[in-house]
Structure 1
Amino acid sequence: MTLRIANCSGFYGDRLSAAREMVEGGPIDVLTGDWLAELTMLILAGNRLKGRPGYAPTFLRQLEDVLGPCLDKSIKIVTNAGGLDPAGCAEAVHDLATRLGLSPTIAHITGDDLTGRPLDLTNADTGEPLTATPLTANAYLGGRPIATALAAGADVVVTGRVTDAALVTGPGIWRYGWGPGDLDQLAGSVVAGHVIECGCQATGGNYAFFQDVPDLAHCGFPIAELNADGSAVITKHPGTGGLVSVGTVTAQLVYELGGPRYLGPDVVARFDTITLTDDGPDRVLISGVRGEPPPDTLKVAVNYLAGYRNTMTLVLTGLDVEAKARAAQDALWARVPRDSFDRVDVELTDTGLLRITVMDADERRAGRTFSSAVVETGLASYPGFYALTPPGSATPYGVYWPVLVPASEVHPQIFLNGTELPPPTSPTPAAAPGASVPPNPETADATETADATGATEAAGATATGATEAAGATRAAGATEATAPQPAPALLPVPGRREAARRDPAPANGEQGAGTAIGNDVQEAESTTGNDGQGAESAAGNHEQGAGGGGRGAGGVAGVQGLGSSGAGQVSAGERQAAGGEPSRREASAVGPQVGVRVPLGRIAGARSGDKGGNANLGVWADTQERYDWLAAHLTPDTLKSLLPTLAPHRIDRYELPNIKALNFVIHGLLGRGVAASPRMDPQAKALGEELRAREVDVPPHLRD
């Protein structure tokens, strides 16, 4: 029997009515929601330091609407809203139920909090050591503890930090009894979880072709109809707005993705084996997903306080924008020396905004010393000078720092109505008969190892338990067991590998865990405040379309053929593993192209996002011919020519021909993560749309 798993939250601050809509809109078996982006853990830590709950209180507001109906309909509720205090959240659920006259069985899961434990704090992305004191340290747990709680009779399961996909994988294990060796089934549930965990982004929200989405203002939340074999149909309740199509599902598949090997604590899901099939109106079938044993490490999200920052944004109007930007900076730095700050970031956007951000360990220096100096230039600067904000004080900022720990050192604890249950069976990295198995690390192809090392963990606010930056060689190599439809080899496109600019490791004197976070940290670190919920959200819906592109980027770029200089040449290493013959795209790309100039977005969709300090940019096509053209021409070097602000950064490209998509990982673009990023678009949400606006020459038949 199909297990219908509904999502009602994609981030902390999502639509409050969504839980009620999902429970009342049609039959479901499990109600889930994701409240924990990387940034959210830092926000919750700030709340806890100020005596507020360390969990997401908006969950309780939603639960009040649906707890009774869920008990009446035997709908299970699984949430990660427990954040830093799952026990406290479970107690609040109990108090709410008592007030409503209800008696649910409530489980909560702990064991993810590693704060205070001795850890190897080497950054899993950059290799840097951490010398600051962690404020939070939470391991990404998998779905098996959730399954254990449900099997024990829990009506409500409250977790702390788990992978986003675990909210689907856990109920799947519970319903179908999947063991550690049922790798393909587990992998299928991970993919389904990745699709629905960001809520309406799977049903037409933030979709590149948003004009094709009906009633977007009332977009329905997604449902995964999960089957025993791990396949799933993505859909939504009838009569709701939005759209479920191969395109909307593809868009979410490439969101916050690293390499095609999607690492997690339960399984490694091979995104290059996914098959998408139109299953009728607002229904898309996900099938064919292959799984590999999980790595023997878990990812740990560490946050620490790094100092103070302040930003002033000046508006540059009319002519001579670049000269005005120089004049503004000359006047400012004459009053407060640029080198007096630990870090300075200046961003001139395509919309004529000059955004100057300073960061420093000294709150006063980063505060009014800086912002007052900007104001003092007001009558001695460029013509038309004005600022978008008044001079303000500095606000604290934190840094997200991913590390790895042995999975054997993390021990989930499961409590049912306050009583601890026996621990779940630990997954063992052993494949079931007929399932794909990991290659021998000793025979791993060096290029594939680079694939695993070069890409961060792929999830979304959506982490999948472990980064592909370490420990992933167990999933990389040349040998695989004989099985139908073997997964293709994974090879990044050759290209310039320029190291990203990295900030130095924090000094020993940086702020420790005892430093109070200011009252406005939620507003300063939040990237959405349009729902009236105190700007505690970690979504990025308000970012400007500039996407960080400077005027120096040349505005809208045009690239002749996207590959005429040789950047678009396809190496033999990119050919499909079977046979080594040139692919269709190689054959079609041979010879000069005579094209018409159009924005890239007329033939391709894109979605971009953040994962720690890296950004990802997924690009997909709706036809095979368009994909062949994209795959032949859109290389890392070409991407840099279209978006020159990416030029200093190393870019890895991964092919997903099974879903007609390419994924680019831009290393270091976001500095030290969303909480510390000085960019106007700190989560790289607009990067995909910036790319789609660039003009390229394409064969005329691809435009139509």
Structure 2
Amino acid sequence: MRSDATTARRPVRIGNSSGFLGDRPEAAREMVEGGPIDVLTGDYLAELTMLILWKARQKDPDAGYAKTVLGQLEQVLGTCLDRGIKIVNNAGGLNPSGLAGQFTALAERLGLHPKIAYVTGDDLLPRIDELMAAGHPLAHVDTGQPLAHADGKPVTANAYLGGWGITTALHAGADIVICPRVTDASLVTGPAAWWHGWQRHDLDQLAGALAAGHVIECGPQATGGNYSHLHEVTDRRYPGFPIAEIASDGTSVITKHEDTGGLVSVGTVTAQLLYEIAEPAYLNPDVVAHFDTVTLEQQGPHRVRISGTRGTPPPETLKVCVNFLGGYRNTMTLVLTGLDIEEKAAWAQDELFAVLGGRDQFDDVDVRLLRFDRPDAPSNEQATAHLRITVKDRDPRKVGRRFSNATMELALGGYAGFHTTTPPSTESSYGVYWPTLVPAGEVSHVVVLPDGTRVGVPATVAEAHAADQPLRRIEPQTPPSTSVSERLIEAPLGRICAARSGDKGGNANVGLWTRDEAGYRWLRDHLTPDRLRELLPEAKDLEIRRYELPNLHALNFVIAGLLGEGVASSTRPDPQAKGLGEYVRSRLVPMPQDLLDGGTP
């Protein structure tokens, strides 16, 4: 706690205990009991999560928050109060006041008396018509289409709030701060600003905290989880959740508790810095953090220092996540075995859609032939391929059991060896993600303090500091073609670099980085957007934007539209592009023999 000047000057230790709704139940207890921390955070929200919480609220109007947080924090609430550990999370989702009430009831049952605050004001759904009437088109960020022209009616619309509401609540003495749709990193920037007494003009400090917050927001992804260089993670126990030790100047050290699994290295931190970003100028409501200015240094075992992060004023707009109910979908997967795979797949499609009365009756049909088979396979399973058929329509009757039952009519009258991976299934609803922007001044960011007082939190506007620190935008780069060494060998790209990939709405990002400058120079010169298209055939007609982060020896690519209308609607087997980076690493490319001889595994 901030009890005196000496305490206030030391770094604040902020530990993460959740990276998504459904994360490790024991993480909060392990974080609190594993060693000293000052703040316990938990990140529960994503674009898809907002739709999940909306569906829950249709069944129970008092729902809409991440219920799992109650069980997690029941284990540690008393300890946190005894030790002065603040609890900050975004588990409030669509109903932060409802979760505050649940925490109050939980505390009473445990005989505890925490001071609980919550943040609100992100929900713009009741104001959609008002905002459009005021001249705000709420256009789709990627397509430019105004919201008024969208097909359907929004069911959620939530602005991404910053961290100053959290700061205000902590200054007022709150023990628990429950947030709705704040940016993930705000769960760290808000407490860091409270601890160190930062002001809105402390842009470099805020940017440093934002970088640290981005690193720890996804839990063990920063401590060896989902890490390309598997051989580096020698402790294969479940990774310990990450801790950010943030100093008063905004520098930080990423670490984890002693005697926990996983790894904290320059590589694991680089991986998470590149996760789900676009340009290196990382926009947030309180500051723009320039990730191309970040420097990483291994300070000791499982300790990586983040320094040098520059900040500039935030944009005048806030991002808004709008979700629609797009309609209904169903998927059946047919198994094809042995010879004549492509002929069998064509026959199955023709026969199935003839039984159904044609493809054109559906709003959308997606058919993918997934080849796992090999000639003269040593086992039955290794001789199989999957024909994955997805249908979508606004009429649930078209894509329900009518569709899946029709596939079973091929069982005795179709291709040889017919069987499916699942029994016939019913339809499920799917959502469409619509990212847009709204002027920050249009959003009423409010914090409700433990005594019930409602305090407005003003937006940080760019003009306040633009004269001193102009906003720097990073444009995509395409390097000129360069001559390559004659000593080339064809090898997987992953022999040179690691990767981390993910979703940004309907776009996918792939970050790739090397261990050293020599590898980076080759990667920078070789991997152009056109060459990436060659490695990703499904992106051949899509826009690819490339950004350079030389301090990290990294490139980041944004593949526009690869995920369609977002994860809830995507028909890709990997709808969030989690495996996309590892696929790119597996592709064979000609690379200099010298780099491979240099020991890059």
**TM-score normalised to the size of structure 1?**
0.78
Tell me the residue number matched to 1:607.
Answer: 500
8 Å contact from structure 2 (residues 485, 592) kept in 1 = no
8 Å contact from structure 1 (residues 184, 435) kept in 2 = no
Structure 2 residue 361 is the aligned partner of structure 1 residue 340: yes
SS of 2:88's equivalent in the other structure is strand
In structure 2, give the amino acid aligned to 1:68.
Answer: G
Structure 2 residue 73 is the aligned partner of structure 1 residue 66: no
8 Å contact from structure 2 (residues 160, 318) kept in 1 = yes
Partner of residue 261 from structure 2, selected from 218, 223, 241: 241
SS of 2:126's equivalent in the other structure is coil
Give runs of ≥4 in structure 1 deviating > 3 Å.
430-436
Structure 2 residue 32 is the aligned partner of structure 1 residue 23: yes
In structure 2, give the amino acid aligned to 1:190.
Answer: L
Q: Using the alignment, how far apart are the partners of 1:595 and 1:614 within structure 2?
A: 33
Tell me the residue number matched to 1:180.
Answer: 200
> Deviation digits for residues 537-556 of structure 1, max 9, x if unmatched?
xxxxxxxxxxxxxxxxxxxx
Partner of residue 57 from structure 2, selected from 48, 60, 65: 48
Per the TM alignment, residue 86 of structure 1 is displaced from its structure 2 partner at its CA by 0.2
SS of 2:509's equivalent in the other structure is strand
Structure 2 residue 17 is the aligned partner of structure 1 residue 11: no
Structure 2 residue 159 is the aligned partner of structure 1 residue 145: no
SS of 1:186's equivalent in the other structure is helix
Per the TM alignment, residue 431 of structure 1 is displaced from its structure 2 partner at its CA by 6.5
Partner of residue 370 from structure 2, selected from 349, 368, 392: 349
Tell me the residue number matched to 1:201.
Answer: 221
Tell me the residue number matched to 1:670.
Answer: 563
Partner of residue 477 from structure 2, selected from 489, 493, 496: 493
* Within-5 A mapping of 1:214-613: 214-336=234-356, 337-351=358-372, 352-417=385-450, 419-430=452-463, 436-438=469-471, 475-476=472-473, 490-494=474-478, 570-571=479-480, 589-613=482-506
Per the TM alignment, residue 325 of structure 1 is displaced from its structure 2 partner at its CA by 1.9
- 372-381 or 417-426, which deviates more: 417-426
Q: Using the alignment, how far apart are the partners of 2:463 and 2:305 within structure 1?
A: 28
Per the TM alignment, residue 432 of structure 1 is displaced from its structure 2 partner at its CA by 5.9
SS of 1:112's equivalent in the other structure is coil
Q: Using the alignment, how far apart are the partners of 1:126 and 1:432 within structure 2?
A: 31
8 Å contact from structure 2 (residues 333, 420) kept in 1 = yes
Q: Using the alignment, how far apart are the partners of 2:516 and 2:553 within structure 1?
A: 8
Structure 2 residue 93 is the aligned partner of structure 1 residue 83: yes
Per the TM alignment, residue 134 of structure 1 is displaced from its structure 2 partner at its CA by 1.0
8 Å contact from structure 1 (residues 205, 216) kept in 2 = no
> Deviation digits for residues 161-209 of structure 1, max 9, x if unmatched?
0000000000011111222211111111111110000000000001011
SS of 1:142's equivalent in the other structure is coil
Q: Using the alignment, how far apart are the partners of 1:672 and 1:230 within structure 2?
A: 37
8 Å contact from structure 2 (residues 331, 388) kept in 1 = yes
Tell me the residue number matched to 1:617.
Answer: 510
Q: Per the alignment, do residues 653 and 14 of structure 1 end up closer, same or farther by CA in structure 2, a change over 3 Å counting?
A: same
In structure 2, give the amino acid aligned to 1:285.
Answer: R
Per the TM alignment, residue 430 of structure 1 is displaced from its structure 2 partner at its CA by 4.8
Per the TM alignment, residue 321 of structure 1 is displaced from its structure 2 partner at its CA by 2.5
Structure showing greater relative contact order (alpha-carbon pairs closer than 8 Å, 6 or more residues apart):
1
Q: Using the alignment, how far apart are the partners of 2:111 and 2:256 within structure 1?
A: 31
Q: Per the alignment, do residues 263 and 247 of structure 1 end up closer, same or farther by CA in structure 2, a change over 3 Å counting?
A: same
Q: Using the alignment, how far apart are the partners of 1:685 and 1:642 within structure 2?
A: 16
Per the TM alignment, residue 23 of structure 1 is displaced from its structure 2 partner at its CA by 0.5
Per the TM alignment, residue 320 of structure 1 is displaced from its structure 2 partner at its CA by 3.1
8 Å contact from structure 1 (residues 274, 287) kept in 2 = yes
Q: Using the alignment, how far apart are the partners of 1:414 and 1:342 within structure 2?
A: 43
8 Å contact from structure 1 (residues 180, 428) kept in 2 = no
Q: Using the alignment, how far apart are the partners of 1:193 and 1:142 within structure 2?
A: 12
Q: Using the alignment, how far apart are the partners of 1:366 and 1:76 within structure 2?
A: 48
In structure 2, give the amino acid aligned to 1:89.
Answer: L
8 Å contact from structure 1 (residues 413, 420) kept in 2 = no
Gaps of 5+ in 2: 1-9, 132-136, 373-384
SS of 1:622's equivalent in the other structure is coil
In structure 1, give the amino acid aligned to 2:46.
Answer: A
Tell me the residue number matched to 1:470.
Answer: none
SS of 1:24's equivalent in the other structure is helix
Per the TM alignment, residue 591 of structure 1 is displaced from its structure 2 partner at its CA by 4.2
Q: Per the alignment, do residues 432 and 650 of structure 1 end up closer, same or farther by CA in structure 2, a change over 3 Å counting?
A: closer
In structure 2, give the amino acid aligned to 1:133.
Answer: K
Per the TM alignment, residue 414 of structure 1 is displaced from its structure 2 partner at its CA by 1.1
Q: Per the alignment, do residues 381 and 493 of structure 1 end up closer, same or farther by CA in structure 2, a change over 3 Å counting?
A: farther
Structure 2 residue 142 is the aligned partner of structure 1 residue 121: no
8 Å contact from structure 2 (residues 13, 38) kept in 1 = yes
Tell me the residue number matched to 1:582.
Answer: none
Q: Using the alignment, how far apart are the partners of 1:591 and 1:12 within structure 2?
A: 47
SS of 1:422's equivalent in the other structure is strand
Q: Using the alignment, how far apart are the partners of 1:175 and 1:430 within structure 2?
A: 26
Structure 2 residue 577 is the aligned partner of structure 1 residue 684: yes
Q: Using the alignment, how far apart are the partners of 2:448 and 2:231 within structure 1?
A: 47
> Deviation digits for residues 540-584 of structure 1, max 9, x if unmatched?
xxxxxxxxxxxxxxxxxxxxxxxxxxxxxx33xxxxxxxxxxxxx
In structure 1, give the amino acid aligned to 2:142.
Answer: D
Q: Using the alignment, how far apart are the partners of 2:74 and 2:494 within structure 1?
A: 43
> Deviation digits for residues 477-505 of structure 1, max 9, x if unmatched?
xxxxxxxxxxxxx34234xxxxxxxxxxx
SS of 1:279's equivalent in the other structure is strand
Q: Using the alignment, how far apart are the partners of 1:295 and 1:74 within structure 2?
A: 35
Q: Per the alignment, do residues 433 and 327 of structure 1 end up closer, same or farther by CA in structure 2, a change over 3 Å counting?
A: closer
In structure 2, give the amino acid aligned to 1:600.
Answer: L
Q: Using the alignment, how far apart are the partners of 2:595 and 2:299 within structure 1?
A: 26
Per the TM alignment, residue 236 of structure 1 is displaced from its structure 2 partner at its CA by 0.3
Gaps of 5+ in 1: 439-474, 477-489, 495-569, 572-585
Tell me the residue number matched to 2:541.
Answer: 648
Q: Using the alignment, how far apart are the partners of 2:501 and 2:172 within structure 1?
A: 40
> Deviation digits for residues 397-440 of structure 1, max 9, x if unmatched?
111111111100111111123512432343232566996322xx
Partner of residue 628 from structure 1, selected from 504, 521, 543: 521
Q: Per the alignment, do residues 433 and 368 of structure 1 end up closer, same or farther by CA in structure 2, a change over 3 Å counting?
A: closer
Q: Using the alignment, how far apart are the partners of 1:121 and 1:380 within structure 2?
A: 51
Tell me the residue number matched to 2:381.
Answer: none
> Deviation digits for residues 256-276 of structure 1, max 9, x if unmatched?
010111111001111111111
Q: Using the alignment, how far apart are the partners of 1:407 and 1:213 within structure 2?
A: 43
Q: Per the alignment, do residues 211 and 316 of structure 1 end up closer, same or farther by CA in structure 2, a change over 3 Å counting?
A: farther
Per the TM alignment, residue 233 of structure 1 is displaced from its structure 2 partner at its CA by 0.5
In structure 2, give the amino acid aligned to 1:55.
Answer: Y
Q: Using the alignment, how far apart are the partners of 1:371 and 1:16 within structure 2?
A: 36
8 Å contact from structure 1 (residues 292, 431) kept in 2 = no
In structure 2, give the amino acid aligned to 1:30.
Answer: V
Tell me the residue number matched to 1:701.
Answer: 594
Instruction: Report % sequence identity.
Output: 59
In structure 2, give the amino acid aligned to 1:343.
Answer: D
8 Å contact from structure 1 (residues 613, 674) kept in 2 = yes
Q: Using the alignment, how far apart are the partners of 1:600 and 1:388 within structure 2?
A: 33
Q: Per the alignment, do residues 178 and 594 of structure 1 end up closer, same or farther by CA in structure 2, a change over 3 Å counting?
A: same
Q: Using the alignment, how far apart are the partners of 2:67 and 2:237 within structure 1?
A: 25
Structure 2 residue 174 is the aligned partner of structure 1 residue 154: yes
Q: Using the alignment, how far apart are the partners of 1:592 and 1:98 within structure 2?
A: 71
